[in-house]
A and B are shown apart, each in its own frame.
Chain A
Amino acid sequence: MIEVKNITKSFGDKTILHDVSAKFYSGKTNLIIGQSGSGKTVLMKSIVGLVRPEQGEVLYDGRDFLKMTDAQIKSLRQEIGMLFQGSALFDSETVLGNVMFPLVMFSKMTRPEMLDRARFCLERVNLTGAEKKYPSEISGGMQKRVAIARAIALNPRYLFCDEPNSGLDPKTSILIDELLHDITHEYNITTIINTHDMNSVLGIGENIVFINKGHREWVGDKQRIFTTANEALNDFVFATRLFQEVKDYIIANGQTSAPEKQS
């Protein structure tokens, strides 16, 4: 489990995150949602250590990331996998080379063992046969799957995904969502997904943290989101007519948990 407590982060005079606290559970797909510019990316970057918050705690199963030594951080990083918005695959490496990279850098496996592991990971994301291709030769959806394979190569305990569906068609987006959901449950990973894709929210949102203007406004799951009384969240999630109709249909058919009290 990852827990953030009272995270505050500013850039210059502008405070991006105001005293944000949240819990992200292992074996669950934890979603951070919010409008563009709401601070969700900064929150994720604060958790993984790409930016350093001015105050607060980031606890990885009780271990405070912000108080770790360099050696401890380096060790923890090998328990972390991350899927970037643009996949961030290494252009100069093949698909297989990308997946093998963390194994080559940090595992004590022999080369045949590394190859086996990399091929297993590629098989897990349904990408067998693309080993020798370069990232520029494969589609955006395939790049995302390679990035997932690379992220899980070292059997991470924590998986971070920044906008995993951006730039993908709806069908591929669903495939990526299902893959992340399945991997999370299969390996009991603490997965945190940063998204504003409503299909993801309603599809795999087992623990949802809503960030609005740098504040944590709401926490719940994909059932409770239909009955939320939070105005900002309602405006954000059910902004389109289609999702509003979906909400009305689900509420009318009683497929949600008990209505939430206005807070």
Chain B
Amino acid sequence: MAEPHASKPLERGVTRRQFLAGTAAVAGGWVLLQGGWSRARQFLGPDGLDTGAARAAGYTVKHTLCFQCGASCGLTALVREGAPPSEENFLLFGNQHPDHPQRGFCGRGATAVYTWNSPLRIRKPLKRVGERGEGRFEEIGWDQALDEIAAKLKALVDVEGARSVAFTAHDLREYPQWLAWPLGAANTVNQPSTCNTSGISARRWMMGAAYQHHAAVDPDYDHARYVVFPGRSLHAPIGALHRLAKARQQGARAVFLNPAMPEAAFADAEWIPILPGTDAAFLLAVCHTLIHEQRYDAEFVARHTNLPFLLKADDKPLTEADREAGGEVGRFFLYDTASGGLAAHTTEGVAPGLTHRGTVRLADGSSAEVTTAFNRLVEHLAEYTPEYAEGITQVPAATLVRVARELHTRQGVVEDTWYNARNGNDTDAVMAIMTVNALLGNFDQPGGLCFRPGARVPATMSRAADGQVSTLLGHSFRMDDTRSVDRMKYPETNGTFDAVLQAILEGEPYPIKALFVLGTTVLQRDPNTRRVEAALRKLDLIVTNEILAQEITDWSDYVLPAEMFLERRRLSGIPWTLTAAVGWQEAVTRPPPGVEARSDVWIMLEILRRAYPERAALVGYNETLSDHDTFKREFLDKLEDLQLEGLAKSWELDADELRQELATQGFKVLQGQRYGQVPYVRPFATPSGRFEVYAFHPVLRGYREHGFATWFPPPAYTLPAQPDEFYLVSGKNPITASGTAGLAYPARFLSDRAVWLHPADAERLGLSEGDPIEVTGLDIDWTARAAVRVTPRVKQGVAFIYSFSGGYRQRRVREDDRFRFLSEGLNPHWFAKAHLEPVTGAAANNASVRIRKVSSAVG
């Protein structure tokens, strides 16, 4: 028996206090250890987790990364060695190592144990026996399921080709490739358009592809002084919030610009209620104020942005190709105040002028008027006065001016967004955010907007631009067709599932007839539910890998029980940190008794093998790996070993030592945060190497008339105009708002499924707290009922609902008293018409609705 209060620090100097601080562990913990805390306490000695004591008592320490949402925060588990999988045999809590890049977990992490053995868990392969959407299934064996799916897939592909098969995922986006790519199917189209596409596009256009990802650029929360959050609730990752909480103890301030007050704003933060779809107007007026009051960083703007670059009258940049026959189109010009002449932007030692205007002679002998992009920006911003913005945003001009001044005086930043509900003008909104940041010039320094170095975890399978696919196991083959339907329609997208729907419904550009869904809640994810349903109804085959009974499973021909994150091993980079860090997801437990869950990769490869064994062989898969345990040992583990060895080589580390460190503490920081790199040492990744406040790429491609962020009214819905008409906006909370955590039992009490209305709006409609209302779309003919919540946490004129919290219609939810609450409330996508931004393919999920009082919440 271990010493109950052993004091030796076994987790690399983690003190008990450090270990305990923030452990929502307990959330899973006590329940999970039979005998309660009296059994668990012996492992938490005065100096932290006493691994030796735990081991002596038959427990193993395992680390993982939480997948209850996409934030990947660190978790640690004590697992009883050799015991059967049971809630009683593992203890789950936050990884409390003080150096963990994403410490602790939140309400969502605390729901992991509820998910693992949830009554909604998919336990065996299911085959549909009712109509699509009805949710009537029979349980079948794995062999039958895989054989039938493989036969249907083969019959389809042999006739229609592999392009008739589409795949969609979310956080599991690398898994469908194991079937799709050997099959030659280009259409793996995931969730981004409803999440991050607008931000990705804006960052790529302005900072370059290397910094386009939403986790590649983040405020330096540890040293934050002032952060404005347009649209973002910052409820994930909890590690970022934890760091911001520490900075707030040192005086940092957070400002949330949002139609509804996020929970994070309770923490003595400022909430500025703003009309949906008007963020760009607010932020451009901030730019106007920064320039008008000379509060911008002129040195940064001149040296590191393209605002000194010269533009012609046609709003295109002056290039060497304009001035010389055979000149480069990627060489731009600016005015050098030192020499009094023009200089190519690549010329060293020039003193860029921001306000030059003049005439230049072109290669064809003609002359052209040119002016700096800065001059053009000043002209562009002229109309965006605080008063003008007030008329659009309904934010008082004085508040806007104060925020602009505080951003300047406190050396703040504007957060560059991850997910928030969209209105159809969102790429411009993120461009406006980045324009404010460019004017502030607060990049890559303490408290500024900083850049994450990549962890360089080798991909298990990768595809080059020419279609050549290679796996870490040494196999390779070529895909003839790699262009997905969304890229054909939206050249700048990183994933627009609506293009798949169009291919299903209209056969354009060609018909798609089968869909594989891996761990994504399509009916809670994509706007215009009726359109999604019509597409699902038309498909010849729908196969879904899931852990829980989601609404999409009711529409599937086959539902295959997939492993939850607690049951699988994986090596991955840790996002949302400004360090280069890697995390080790160990399998904490096997699936609960009766749950025949399988690895998503195994499912993909087994279907492939049964349909086309020769294609499975392309990636080294054959019948000898059909046993799931053998597959994990001989295939997945080997891949992970190779990943780890590649990672170690990339960072010049000893692979065995790295493996040991990952096993011991669950993570490895490969490179600490380094300030002063971008753009001071390394340039931005744009063609010009500058921060392109004037986005050249979309202008030169003809996507936009000019390159500046612009506000225009949200095109995604009819604007509310009558007293009973409202914007319908959704947003996340820190407890249940993810596709997985939203189905956990605590959501019943810790979230709500009501429609939030401002007290003034409720009074006008004669509504009181809890009253039933009927909600009808202004653009979509969909009517539903819900209860009203009267709260000043929502802006007047706006109806707000939590996303992933209500309006679930799957049969299992309706039939289980404990989970029937999930069928209350609304799914915002019922009312959204699926407006897509041209070029980027970013989707809007906000809508407008009419609300009236009714006598019952049940229609």
Decide whether A and B assemble into one complex.
no
List chain B positions with a Cβ less than 8 A from chain A.
none
